[in-house]
């Protein structure tokens, strides 16, 4: 029997009391609040050493450094962007803006701050994005229902989770570093293959593919009939409709949109099966799937700015698309290049396999273990 099991058996054999956070606040055990307005101008005019935490969920939530601070004690803060996130703050001087929030434990003889953090983050992780995005104090007070075991049990849970969290974060950092290294290796190898001095034949897209743009049919959202066939736009699936106009393997290339310059998502992507494509993506059909994959990888690796018109509304029209030169290697070399790059891509980007999947699996394993530790038989009233 573990130390935690012994404590539970000794101190709360009949179950643990569950309470809403608002009830705990009403008893004077905790206090909830929002931060204060700190503008970008305030930060720029008064730079300093003290971190400011806002609605951002990126990293540790810091948005800048300020010459003043609001708190220098232990608190829990939260953000609402990016799905929301909770943070445990201790041993620093810091501020929280009005689009973030904070929780202060006033009576540590009833509940410890670190235990409350773990209990809340466990409950928080089960909420939906839209729900968390509205996570102001009233929502947290009224909806977060957490177990409040005896202090000795709380401290043992914190000890276990601190140790497990440290180990889990170290492993995830190791995997993330490996993923970064593999991505750099992938980019280097990809560029080396495309820039190889081996004999290649430069061809334009209209020489190696059939342009099917004339078959595209845009449908406004209000006129679409829901169905099972994907409806594609410039950056991927926009909707699902009841009919299709294409059936087979195609390469879609963004025709317009900010992503042509920003390149947040690939501008060329392969699709297969029955589908519908609107007029925001070019539709190319190839005789050979390896040629299609090769062209997809090549277009996603090069700068297309010289072919794009319009600054406010970037556009890659069909005439410009057809002038893009593709370095086509011999058939055997082309297939080898595609095979190798697909392996790298799966390792670096596939969320069901490779390193991203491993990182996600570790996080889910951690969350499962945390939830198990923080789930108790509820004590009858």
Q: Is a pLDDT exceeding 90 seen at residue 172? A: no
Last residue of a domain, one of 281, 300, 326: 326
**Residue owning tokens 């290049």:** 337
**pLDDT in the model for residue 131:** 53
Task: Please write the tens of the pLDDT for every residue from 132-167.
Answer: 555 566 677 878 899 999 999 999 999 999 998 888
Residue 158 Cα distances to 114, 116, 170, angstroms: 7, 9, 18
N-terminal to C-terminal alpha carbon distance within the chain: 28
**pLDDT in the model for residue 82:** 56
**pLDDT in the model for residue 198:** 64
Average pLDDT over residues 287-300: 91
Tell which wins on pLDDT, 156 or 79.
156
Q: What is the mean pLDDT of the chain?
A: 86
**Residue owning tokens 């994959």:** 293
Q: 344 and 317, same structural domain?
A: no
**pLDDT in the model for residue 81:** 67
Last residue of a domain, one of 299, 326, 353: 326
Q: Is a pLDDT exceeding 90 seen at residue 232? A: yes
CA distance linking residue 219 with residue 175, whole number of Å = 44
Average pLDDT over residues 298-312: 85
Q: What CATH number is associated with residue 213? A: 3.90.220.20
**pLDDT in the model for residue 373:** 87
Please state whether 263 falls in left (phi above 0), alpha (psi between -120 and 50) or beta. left
Q: Helix or strand or coil: residue 140?
A: helix
pLDDT band at 127 (very low <50, low <70, confident <90, very high): low
Phi then psi for residue 262, to 5 deg, are -70, -35
Q: 321 and 280, same structural domain?
A: yes
Q: 141 and 224, same structural domain?
A: no
**pLDDT in the model for residue 211:** 95
Choose from 260-264, 270-274, 340-344 the range with maximum mean pLDDT: 270-274
Name the domain count of the chain. Answer: 3
Average pLDDT over residues 351-355: 62
Q: 255 and 206, same structural domain?
A: yes
Q: What angle do CA 27, 378, 168 make, to 5 degrees?
A: 90
**Residue owning tokens 């099917």:** 212
Distance of CA 216 to the CA centre of its chain: 32
Q: Tell me what percent of the chain is helix, strand and coil, each rounded to the nearest 5.
A: 45, 25, 30
**pLDDT in the model for residue 27:** 95
Q: 312 and 257, same structural domain?
A: yes
Token pair listed for 240:
């699902």
Q: Is a pLDDT exceeding 90 seen at residue 209? A: yes
Q: 232 and 173, same structural domain?
A: no
Last residue of a domain, one of 85, 117, 148: 148
CA distance linking residue 242 with residue 219, whole number of Å = 12
Q: 127 and 100, same structural domain?
A: yes
Q: 124 and 86, same structural domain?
A: yes
pLDDT band at 320 (very low <50, low <70, confident <90, very high): very high
CA distance linking residue 340 with residue 171, whole number of Å = 28
Q: What angle do CA 117, 118, 120 make, to 5 degrees?
A: 65
Task: Please write the tens of the pLDDT for every residue from 33-57.
Answer: 988 998 889 889 999 999 999 887 7
HSE at residue 378, side-chain half, CA atoms within 13 A, is: 7
Strand-strand pairing, 268-277 and 95-96? unpaired
Q: Is a pLDDT exceeding 70 seen at residue 99? A: yes
pLDDT band at 347 (very low <50, low <70, confident <90, very high): low
pLDDT > 70 fraction of the chain, expressed in percent and rounded: 89
Contacting residues for 332 by C-beta, under 8 A, at least 6 apart: none
Closest among 347, 342, 237, 325 to 289, alpha carbons compared: 342
Q: 87 and 7, same structural domain?
A: no
Average pLDDT over residues 316-333: 88
CA distance linking residue 96 with residue 63, whole number of Å = 10
Q: Is a pLDDT exceeding 70 seen at residue 216? A: yes
Domain that holds residue 209: 202-326
**pLDDT in the model for residue 189:** 65
Strand-strand pairing, 75-79 and 85-89? antiparallel
Q: Is a pLDDT exceeding 70 seen at residue 366? A: yes
Closest among 233, 257, 373 to 317, alpha carbons compared: 257
Q: 348 and 266, same structural domain?
A: no
**pLDDT in the model for residue 19:** 94
pLDDT band at 175 (very low <50, low <70, confident <90, very high): confident
CA distance linking residue 295 with residue 317, whole number of Å = 17
Q: 102 and 13, same structural domain?
A: no
State the Rg of the chain over Cα.
27
- Give me the DSSP letters along 22-39: HHHHHTTSEEEEE-B---
Q: 293 and 256, same structural domain?
A: yes
């Amino acid at each position: 029997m573990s130390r935690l099991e012994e404590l539970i058996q000794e101190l709360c054999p009949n179950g643990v009391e569950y309470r809403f956070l608002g009830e705990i606040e009403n008893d004077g055990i905790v206090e909830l609040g929002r931060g204060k307005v700190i503008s970008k101008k305030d930060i720029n005019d008064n730079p300093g050493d003290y971190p400011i935490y806002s609605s951002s969920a990126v990293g540790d939530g810091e948005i800048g450094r300020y010459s003043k601070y609001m708190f220098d004690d232990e608190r829990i803060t939260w953000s609402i962007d990016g799905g929301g996130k909770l943070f445990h703050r201790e041993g620093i001087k810091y501020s929280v803006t009005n689009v973030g929030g904070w929780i202060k434990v006033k009576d540590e003889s009833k509940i410890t701050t670190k235990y409350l953090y773990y209990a809340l983050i466990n409950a928080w992780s089960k909420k939906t994005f839209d729900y968390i995005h509205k996570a102001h104090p009233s929502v947290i007070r009224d909806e977060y229902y957490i177990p409040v075991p005896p202090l000795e049990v709380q401290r043992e849970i914190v000890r276990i989770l601190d140790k497990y969290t440290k180990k889990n974060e170290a492993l995830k950092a190791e995997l993330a570093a490996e993923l970064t290294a593999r991505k750099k290796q992938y980019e280097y190898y990809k560029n080396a293959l495309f820039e190889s001095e081996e004999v290649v034949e430069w061809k334009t897209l209209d020489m190696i593919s059939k342009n099917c743009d004339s078959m595209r049919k845009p449908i406004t959202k209000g006129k679409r009939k829901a169905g099972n066939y994907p409806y594609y736009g410039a950056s991927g699936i926009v909707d699902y409709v009841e009919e299709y106009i294409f059936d087979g393997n195609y390469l879609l290339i963004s025709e317009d949109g900010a992503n042509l310059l920003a390149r947040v998502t690939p501008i060329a992507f392969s699709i297969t099966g029955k589908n519908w494509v609107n007029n925001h993506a070019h539709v190319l059909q190839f005789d050979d799937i390896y040629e299609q994959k090769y062209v997809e990888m090549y277009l996603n690796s090069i700068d297309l700015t010289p072919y794009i018109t319009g600054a406010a509304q970037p556009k890659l029209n069909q005439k410009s698309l057809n002038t893009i030169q593709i370095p086509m290697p011999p058939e055997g070399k082309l297939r080898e290049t595609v095979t190798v790059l697909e392996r790298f891509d799966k390792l670096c980007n596939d969320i069901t396999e490779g390193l991203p999947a491993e990182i996600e699996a570790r996080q889910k394993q951690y969350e499962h273990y945390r939830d198990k530790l923080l789930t108790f038989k509820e004590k009858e009233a």
